[in-house]
Amino acid sequence: MELGVNIDHIAVLREARKIADPDPMDALSICKRAGANQITIHLREDRRHMQDFDAENIISLSSLPVNLECAIAEEMIQIACKLRPHRVTLVPEKREEVTTEGGLAVTGTQPRLHAAIEKLKAHDIEVSLFIDPTTEAVQASRALEVEWIEFHTGKYANIYAMLYSGLEKTPYAIPQLDLPRHTLKILLDSELENFRKLSCDAAESDIKVAAGHGLNYHNVVDIVAIEMIEELNIGQSIIARSVFTGLEQAILDMKARLIR
């Protein structure tokens, strides 16, 4: 299974001090050496971590394909078309959120989304949609004729954390997670079954399936077992571990869990 390493968190650390270090550019050769298959970056409209110059340098100098996550705002689509990364993953964005909290709105008429996809495709950029794992979102993605979808695994990660980490509350806990253990286990299994079913549906329509958000060295194992999911994009847990082990080892440890 392929691994996209999301290196935004290196920029988070740099922006905490507004200085030059650590530089996400320095991660490129390490990611490559450790066997990452893709570099993933998110250029947010508020530029809270990655800056325009990061995106420009990373896209032009990375020897691995770059997956640029961005909102469907016109400014971001223009930047993407200018920089021409290998892939653009369209994500929803709310200024007040700490991280991307849910999937993109894809159902119903979405003229802005449709226009963004067309523009990116016209610039030979692969398009992926970061969606909630629902039948409606997969069907809408099919109608939008994108090459990739990426399932938001945040809810799955939250359930997993509450079931196995003994946490009483995850930061983005949703009310119905305040449940007894056996109910959480049923919920976790049904999330996995849902990913299994939806990724088969997507693959039958020739849509490639990625997944990401909140995945770590523990909860990733059951996701890896879902064959139709081809790629995972993982940031927080890898960069967190790298503080103690170094980035190369942190990626190697994750890659080892992605072997099928």
Does 212 help bind ligand PXP (rule: CB under 6 A)?
Answer: yes
Q: Which of 104, 213, 220, 250 binds ligand PXP (CB under 6 A)?
A: 213
Nearer to ligand PXP, 62 or 152 (CB): 152
Of 9, 93, 213, 231, the active-site residue reads: 213
Q: What are phi and psi of 156, to 5 degrees?
A: -55, -45
Minimal distance, residue 17 CB to ligand PXP, in Å: 21
| Surface-to-core class of residue 173, CB atoms within 10 Å of its CB (0-12 exposed, 13-18 middle, 19+ buried) | middle
In sequence order, which residues have a C-beta less than 8 Å from that of residue 16 and are 6 or more positions away? none
Q: How many CA atoms lie within 13 A of 82 on its CB side?
A: 11
Helix (H, G, I), strand (E, B) or coil at 23: coil
Helix (H, G, I), strand (E, B) or coil at 127: strand
Does 67 help bind ligand PXP (rule: CB under 6 A)?
Answer: no
Helix (H, G, I), strand (E, B) or coil at 178: coil
Site for ligand PXP in 36-65 (CB under 6 A): 42
Does 233 help bind ligand PXP (rule: CB under 6 A)?
Answer: yes
Sole residue written with tokens 């994108």 = 146
CA nearest neighbour of 38 among 207, 206, 210: 210
User: By rule CB under 6 A, what count of residues binds ligand PXP?
Assistant: 19
Nearer to ligand PXP, 42 or 155 (CB): 42
Does 191 help bind ligand PXP (rule: CB under 6 A)?
Answer: no
- Judged by the rule CB under 6 A, the positions of this chain that interact with ligand PXP are 6, 8, 42, 69, 89, 91, 99-100, 130, 150, 212-215, 233-237
Active site residues per annotation: 42, 69, 213
